[in-house]
Chain A
Amino acid sequence: MKIYESAVRKPVSTILIFIGAIVLGVFSLNRLSIDLYPDIELPMLSVITSYAGASAADIEQNITRRLENSLNTVSNLKKITSRSQDNMSVVILQFEWGSNLDEASNDIRDVLGRIETYLPENADKPMLIKFSTSMMPIMYLYATANESYNGLYKLLDEKLANPLNRINGVGAVSISGAPKREVQVNVNPQKIEAYNLTVEQIGQIIAQENNNIPAGSMDIGSERYAIRIEGEFSQSEHIRNVVVANYGGREIRVSDVATVTDTIKKKTVEEKINGRTGVRIIIQKQSGANSVEIANEIKRQLPELMKTLPPDIQIGTLFDTSTYITGSINSLTETVMYAFLFVVLVVLFFLGRWRATIIIALTIPVSLIAGFIYLMFTGGTVNIVSLSSLSIAIGMVVDDAIVVLENIVKHIERGARPKDAAVYGTNEVWLAVIATTLTVVAVFLPLTMVGGIAGIMFKQLGWIVSIVIVVSTVAAITMTPMLTAQMLRFRASHTYKGMGIIFKPIDKFLDHLDNFYARMVSWTVTHRTMTILGAFLIFLISLFLLTKVPSEFFPQSDNGQVNASLELPVTANLEQTTSIAHRLERTFVEKCPEIKIISVSSGADDQAGFAALFGNSGTNAISFMIVLHDIKERKANHQRGMEEIGEVMRQEIAKLPEVVKFKVSPGGGGGAGMMGGSSTVDVNIFGYDFDQTTAIANELAAKMRTIKGARDVSISREEMRMGLQIDFDREKLATFGITTATAATFVRNRINGMLASLYREDGEEYDIVVRYDEPYRESIEDIQNIVLYNAQGRAIRLSEVASVVERFTPPKIEREDRQRVVTVSTALSGAALGEVAAAAQKEIDKLVVPAGVDVAMSGSVKEQKESFSDLFTLLILIIILVYIVMATQFESFKMPFIIMLSVPFAFTGVFLALWVTNIPLSMIALIVSIMLVGIVVKNGIVIVDFTNLQRERGLPLNEAVITAGKSRLRPVLMTSLTTILGMIPLAIGGGEGSEIWRPMGIAIVGGLTFSTILTLLVIPAVYSAFNSDKISTERAANRIDV
C-alpha cells in the first residue's frame, strides 16, 4: 500500500502522527531561546607575551616576528595580525569562519611549546587568549548618586554586583568609574631629607606597624588561651601617630613629615550619565548563555536590589542587547503572522471554498513546526535568520498541497467517492510534486555549504527551508488527501449561497483573466521574435540598472544606539578631558532631542575589563554611549535616525580643535552583535619604513576625507607621543653603587607611589600608598631633585646621575600577515560600502608608492569581495543542480533550458526593486537572488509540463501552448502570489531591526513578481520557438500507413 493510500485508509493514525509532530514542535518552540543571530563564534585567538623593559622595536624583532613565523603554520589560519608595543606583544590569529577553535588552540599550544626556548629569557611565557562573543557586554547599567557617591563602589559591589553575579549565566559584573577609597600618605620631600628618611623607610615602618600576629597559645590552669598581638590600625588616623625615626632624642611621627588623608583614589576615569556623576556597571555573560534570559532576570531582580540601596542612588539601564533582540524578534514574528494570513486569503480567493482553504492552511503550521524541531535538536535559537526562513517558506509550503488538492477535487467532480478520489488523485500527481520539491531543495541545501561569515548566517536558512519544504511535501501527500477524503463532498459547481456570494464576482474576474491571458499568449506565440527580443532587451536594461544600484556588505540597522570615542592629545589630563567631555555632552543634548540617555566616560579605568583591553587607556580618552528614544517613538515624532544623529555629532566634534582623533559609530559597533554596527572601508599600507608608510597614510587619509560618504577617516598608527625620559649615566651610578633598577624604583615610589600596606575595615581592604605630595611632583625639576640613597646611606640627587629629557616615544608597531602595516579606515555615512570603496580605490591608484610599500584594500570590502565570489560560485552550482533535477524530470536537455530562461528575469526584478526602493545590493539581496532560482523555475515547470501534456494528447503546437497557458494561469498565479504576499510584510518592514530583512523581502517580492509576469509571457513564446509541429522522426518511423 502506498503511503498516501495508508494515510487515507487510516485517518486516525495519520491525524495522530501529525498531532504528535505538532506537540513536539510546540514543546521545542517553548524550549528555544531567543537571540539576534545564529550562534557565531568569533574565529580569533590571540597570543600575548610580555617582556618588561623592551621597546616596541625590540618586541617586534625578538618576540612578535618569531611568534608569527612559527604560528603561521597552524592550519585554517586566515590572517595573522600583531601589535608590538612597549613591554608587550599581541599576536592575533584569525581563522576561517566555522573552524574548530579547540583544535586550533591545541596546535597553537604545540607551536608555543616549541618556540618558548627561542624567546628572550626574561620574557614571560606567551599566553593564549580566546576571544568570544560572550566577552561583549550584554548590558550596561548606570548608577548615579549624590550623598552616597564616595561610598558608591562598596555599596554597588556588595548590594548589586554580587547578587547579579549569582544569576545563572552571568559571567562578570564590573563597575567602572566608581570612586575607590585609598589612604594616602603624602610626603614632603624637604622634611624627610632633613631627617634623613626615605619614602621606602616610611612605607616599611607603616607596613610593620600594621600587623596582626598570633603569638601561640598558653595553658593557664586548665584553660588554654590564645595570644594575639593586634597591631593593625583600627582607624586610618592612627597612621599619623606612627613613629618613623628618632632624631636628636625626639620622636619623629608620620604627621611630622607627611599628611595622611583617608580619601578616594585619584580618578583616572570620570563617568557622567545624563549630566550626573555616576558609574557604569558592565555585565558580561558566560559563553553559551542566553542574553535575553539573563537580561530578563536582571530586570526582574533590579527593583528588589534597589530597595537595599540608599535612596539617592538611582539605577537605570544604559544599554541592553535584549530589548533590541526581543523587539526585532517580535516584529519579525508579527510579519510571519501577517504572511500566514495573506497566504490563507490568496488560497481562499483562488479556490473559493472554505473547507479546501482550511485543508491547505493546515499544512502551514504542520510544516513550519518542523523548523522548530530542527532548531531544538541542533541547539539553535529563534533568531532573525530562522524566522526569515520561515517567512520565506510559508508561501511555498502550500504549493504541493494545492496541486494535490486540485487533482483530488477534479476526481470528486467526476463523481468519484472522496476516499477513492483522494487515493487515485494523489497517485497521479505525487511523483510530480516530489520532483518540484527536489528543485527547491537543490537550491536551498547547497546554501548550507557556503563558506565564510555568509555560511554561518545562511546555514540555518538552508536547512530550515529544505526541511520545512520536505515536510510540507510529506504532508501534501498524506495529510492533504486524508483531510480531503474526510472533509470534501461532491458539489458540481459553486452555488454562491450565503457567504459564498462574494465568490461570484471573483470567479467572473478570474474567468476574464484567463481569457485575457489566452489572448496575450496567442499574440506572443505569433510574434515570437518580438517577444523574445523584447524580453532580452529588458534584461539588458536591468543589467545597466545594476551599475546604478550601490552595493554594501550587510545592511545596517537602527538599534537606537550611537557610540563615539574621542581622543585628545596624549598630554591632556583628566580635568581637561572632563571639561571637553562636558562641553560636548551639553551640545549633543541641545542639538538632539532624540537622546534618551547620554553617558560619557572620560579617561579610562583599568578595572573596566573588556573596554580597557581593546580601547585606549589614558586620561585623554572620551567615550560616549548614547541611547536614543525608541524607533517607533522617533518615527511618530518625525525625528531622525541614528545615522543622521551620528552625523550631527560628527560635525560638533569636528568643531573642537582639541580632538585629535574621533570615531562616531551609529549602531554601537559590536554591542548589538556582529552585524548591528557600521561597516568600514579599510586600506592597508604595508611597508617596513615608518616614515614612508606614515607619509603615505597621511596623504591617503587626506584624500579619503574628500570622498563623499566617508566619515571619521582615521589612521591606525598613533602619532608619536611626547614623554619624559630619564637617562641614567651608568658609570656615575656605578661609582655610587646604585643599579638602574634601584634608581628606577626610587623614582617610581616617589611619583607613582609605594603600596605600603593595606588598611582593613569591615572586611574590606584599602590601599595605603606613600608618595611625594602632589606639589612636589609637578615639574621636571621635581624629578631632578629626587634623592637616591645608596647602600651606605649616602644621598645622591638624581640630577647628579641622570638627565631628564622630553622625547618622542616610538609608536606601537602593527603588523598584518607578517609585514608592518598602517591602516587608514573610514566609516560610512549616507553612502554604500561599494561606492566609497571604489572611490578609495581610485585614490589608491593615483598614489605614487615607493618600492617596498604596498597598498591594499581590507576590512569589510575584502570580506564583501570574498563573500560575493563565494556566492557567485554557489549560484553556478545551484543552476547546474537545478538543471540536472529538471532534466531528469523531463528526460530532456531542452525543456530545463526553456524553463531556466525565467531565471534572468528574477534578477531583473531584484535589481529593479532595489533601484526603485533605493536599497543597496547587499549580501542578503544576492542570497535572495540565488534562492529565487529555485522559486521561479517552479512556475516554468508548471507551464512547460502542462504544455508537454497537451502536445502528448495530440494538440498542435501553438494550440497546446495556448490551452496549457490558459489552464495553468491560476495555479501559477496562486503559488506566486502566496510567496509574494507572504513576503510583503517583510518588505514593508517598519519594526525594530527591519533594516536587516527589508532587502530580503523587497528582493523576493520584486524578483518573483517580475519573473512571474515575464515567465507567463516569454516561456510560451520560447517553447513554441524551440519546438516544431513536425512529427518527430521516431514517431514517423512508427507510423503505419493504412
Chain B
Amino acid sequence: MKAVFIVYGQSLTQPIENLLNKLEIRGFTRWEETHGRGSVLGEPHYGTHAWPSKNGSILTMIDEQKAEILINALTRLNQKTEQQGLRAFVWDAALGI
C-alpha cells in the first residue's frame, strides 16, 4: 500500500476530486487550505497580502497499481496547468486498524 500526498494550487481542488472519483479512490483526507512554497519554481502560496494564492492538500492510501495510475494522471494535469503548482509524494504505508 502506498501513501500519496498531493499538494496543489487551490483552483485545482475540483479537478483533483474529479480525478479521484474517476479512479474510484474512495478514501482520502483533505486540507482545504494549506500554505507553502515550491522547492524549485513558482510563487509561494501563503494566502497573504503579498502572496494571496493558497494551496489545498490531499493524503490518500491506495494500492500500488492505483498509485501509479494516479501519479501519471496528476503529471498530465500538472503539464496542462503548470502555473497552478502541483506536487505529489509517494511512500510506503500500512493499515493500522
Minimum distance in angstroms from B56 CB to a CB of chain A = 10
Per CB-CB distance, the 5 closest pairs between chain A and chain B, nearest first, are A415-B81, A416-B11, A952-B50, A414-B83, A428-B52
Known contacts A414-B83, A420-B10; 15 further A-B pairs (Cβ under 8 A): A414-B9, A414-B81, A416-B11, A416-B12, A416-B84, A417-B11, A419-B14, A420-B13, A420-B15, A421-B11, A424-B10, A424-B54, A429-B52, A948-B49, A949-B50
Q: How many angstroms from the CA of A414 to the CA of B14 in the assembled complex?
A: 15
Is B68 positioned at the interface, with any CB of A under 8 Å from its CB?
Answer: no
A416 pairs with B81, CB closer than 8 A: yes
Complex interface residues of chain B between 54 and 90 (CB less than 8 A to chain A): 54, 80-84
A417-B15 in contact (CB<8A): yes
**Per-residue B-contact encoding for A407-424, CB less than 8 Å = 1, 0 else:** 000010111110111001
Q: Are A415 and B52 in contact (CB under 8 A)?
A: no
How long is the Cα–Cα vector from A429 to B52 in the complex, in angstroms? Answer: 9
Interface flag for B51 (CB, 8 Å): yes
A953 at the B interface (CB under 8 A) = yes
Instruction: Assess the A428–B53 pair: CB atoms within 8 A.
Output: yes
A to B CB contacts below 8 Å, 22 in the list: A413-B83, A414-B9, A414-B81, A415-B11, A415-B83, A416-B11, A416-B12, A416-B81, A417-B11, A417-B15, A419-B14, A420-B12, A420-B14, A420-B15, A424-B11, A424-B53, A424-B54, A428-B53, A429-B52, A949-B49, A952-B49, A953-B50
CA distance A421 to B9 in the complex (A): 11
Min Cβ gap B78→A in Å is 10
Q: How far is the CA of A421 from the CA of B83 in the complex (A)?
A: 13
User: Could you say which of A416, A424, A949, A952 has the most chain B C-beta atoms within 10 Å of its C-beta?
Assistant: A416
CB-defined contacts of B53 to chain A, threshold 8 Å: 424, 428
Asked if B21 is at the interface (CB within 8 A of a chain A CB), the reply is: no
B48 at the A interface (CB under 8 A): yes
In the assembled complex, how far is the CB of residue A438 from the closest CB belonging to chain B, in whole angstroms? 17
Partner of A414, one of B48, B51, B52, B84: B84
Chain A residues with CB under 8 A of B48: 952
Contact B84–A415 (Cβ < 8 Å): yes
Instruction: Tell whether A411 pairs with B11 under 8 Å between CB atoms, given A416-B81, A416-B84.
Output: yes
Docked Cα-Cα span, A420 to B12, in Å, equals 8
Smallest Cβ-Cβ distance to A416: which chain B residue? B11
Q: Which B residues are CB-close (under 8 A) to A420?
A: 10-15
In the complex, the chain A residue whose C-beta lies closest to that of B81 is A415
Give the CA-CA distance A419 to B11 in the complex, in Å: 9
Complex interface: chain A residues within 8 A of B9 (CB): 414, 416
A888 nearest CB across to chain B (Å): 14
Q: Return the chain B residue nearest A413 by Cβ.
A: B83
Q: How far is the CB of A215 from chain B (nearest CB, A)?
A: 104
Q: For window 1-39 of chain B, which residues contact chain A by CB distance below 8 Å?
A: 9-15
Query: Do B51 and A953 touch across chains, with their CB atoms under 8 A apart?
Result: yes
Q: How far is the CB of A337 from chain B (nearest CB, A)?
A: 38
Interface of A toward B, CB cutoff 8 Å: 411, 413-417, 419-421, 424, 428-429, 948-949, 952-953
Chain A hits for B81, CB < 8 A: 414-416
Chain B hits for A421, CB < 8 A: 11
Number of A-B contacts (CB under 8 A): 44
Chain B residues lying within 8 Å of A424, measured Cβ to Cβ, are: 10-11, 53-54
Chain B residues near A428: list those with CB within 8 A: 52-53
The CA-CA distance from A560 to B80 in the complex, in Å, is: 69
Chain A residues whose CB sits within 8 angstroms of the CB of B82 once the complex forms: 415
- In angstroms, Cα B49 to Cα A429, docked, is 9
Question: CA of A416 to CA of B14 in the docked complex: distance in angstroms?
Answer: 10
Complex alpha-carbon distance, A91 and B80, angstroms: 85
Residue of B nearest to A945 (CB): B49
A424 CA to B9 CA in the complex, in Å? 10
**Interfacial chain A residues near B15, Cβ < 8 Å:** 417, 420
Q: Which residues of A contact B83 (CB under 8 A)?
A: 413-415
Min distance, Cβ A584 to any Cβ of chain B, angstroms: 75
The chain B residue sitting closest to A422, CB to CB, is B11
Residues of B within 8 A of A413 (CB): 83
- Closest CB-CB distance, B95 to chain A, in whole Å? 33
Determine the distance from Cα of A420 to Cα of B14 in the docked complex, in whole angstroms.
8
Nearest B residue to A412, CB-CB: B11
A431 to chain B, nearest CB (A): 10
Q: Which residue of A lies closest to B52 (CB)?
A: A428
CB distance from B41 to the nearest CB of A (A): 13
Q: In the complex, A429→B9 CA distance in Å?
A: 17
Chain B residue contacts of A416, Cβ below 8 A: 9, 11-12, 81, 84
* B14→A415 contact, CB < 8 A: no
Q: Within the assembled complex, what's the spacing in Å between the Cα atoms of A419 and B14?
A: 10
How far is the CB of A424 from the nearest CB of chain B, in Å? 5
Q: Which residue of A lies closest to B77 (CB)?
A: A415
Partner of B14 from A411, A417, A952 at Cβ < 8 Å: A417
CA distance A81 to B79 in the complex (A): 85
Chain B residue at minimum C-beta to C-beta distance from A953: B50
CB closest chain-A residue, reference B44? A953
Minimal beta-carbon separation of A501 from chain B (angstroms): 28
Give the distance in Å from the alpha carbon of A419 to the alpha carbon of B13 in the complex: 11
Which chain A positions have C-beta within 8 A of B49?
948-949, 952
B88 to chain A, nearest CB (A): 17
Complex: how many Å from CA A449 to CA B13? 49
| Bound CA span A416–B83, Å | 9
What's the least CB distance linking B18 to chain A, in Å? 10
Q: Please give the distance in Å from B87's CB to the nearest CB on chain A.
A: 15
> Which residues of B sit under 8 angstroms from A429, Cβ to Cβ?
52
Q: Name the residue on A nearest B85 (C-beta).
A: A414
Contact residues in A for B84 (Cβ distance below 8 Å): 414-416
CA–CA, A953 to B49, complex, Å?
A: 10
Q: How distant is B3 from chain A, measured CB to nearest CB, in Å?
A: 26
C-alpha spacing A429/B50, complex, angstroms: 12
Q: How far is the CB of B59 from chain A (nearest CB, A)?
A: 21
B54 to chain A, nearest CB (A): 8
- Write the chain A residue with the least CB distance to B82: A415
| Measured CA separation A416–B15 after assembly (Å) | 9
CA distance A420 to B9 in the complex (A): 11
Least CB distance from B40 to A in Å reads 17
Give Cα distance in the complex from A428 to B51, angstroms. Answer: 10
* Distance from B16 Cβ to chain A, minimum over Cβ atoms (Å): 11
Bound Cα distance from A421 to B80, whole angstroms: 15
In Å, the complex CA distance between A411 and B10 comes to: 10
Q: In this complex, which of A415, A417, A429, A948 has the most chain B Cβ atoms within 10 angstroms of its Cβ? A: A415
* A428–B53 alpha-carbon span in the complex (Å): 7
CB distance from B51 to the nearest CB of A (A): 7
* Alpha-carbon separation in the docked complex, A403 to B14 (Å): 25
Least Cβ distance of B15 to chain A in Å? 7
Q: Which residues of A contact B14 (CB under 8 A)?
A: 417, 419-420
Measured in the bound complex, the distance between the Cα atoms of B29 and A592 in whole Å is 90
Cα A428 to Cα B15 in complex, Å, equals: 20
Residues on A with C-beta less than 8 A from B10 are 420, 424
- What is the chain B residue whose CB lies nearest that of A952? B50
Across-interface contacts of B12 in A (CB, < 8 A)? 416, 420
Chain B: minimal CB distance from A492 (Å) = 11
Chain B residues whose C-beta falls within 8 Å of the C-beta of A953 in the assembled complex = 50-51
> Chain B: which residue is nearest A420 at the CB level?
B11
Chain A residues, Cβ within 8 Å of B50? 949, 952-953
Distance in Å: Cβ of A1040 to nearest Cβ of chain B: 18
Q: Please report the C-alpha to C-alpha distance between residue A642 and residue B32 in the assembled complex, in whole angstroms.
A: 71
In the assembled complex, how far is the CB of residue B25 from the closest CB belonging to chain A, in whole angstroms? 20
A415 touching B51 in the complex, CB below 8 Å, given contacts A420-B11, A420-B14, A424-B11 = no
Bound-state CA distance A419–B82 (Å) is: 18
- Shortest C-beta distance, A34 to chain B (Å), equals 47
> Within the assembled complex, what's the spacing in Å between the Cα atoms of A66 and B92?
104
* Residue ID in chain B nearest A423 by CB atoms: B11
Rounded to whole angstroms, the CA-CA distance of A416 and B8 in the bound complex is: 11
For A954, the closest partner residue in chain B by CB is B50
Whole-angstrom distance between the Cβ of B34 and the nearest chain A Cβ? 14
A420 vs B52: C-alpha distance when bound (angstroms): 15
Report which residue of A419, A429, A948, A949 has the largest number of chain B beta carbons within 10 angstroms of its beta carbon. Answer: A949
Nearest CB on A from B81, distance (A): 3
Bound Cα distance from A419 to B18, whole angstroms: 14
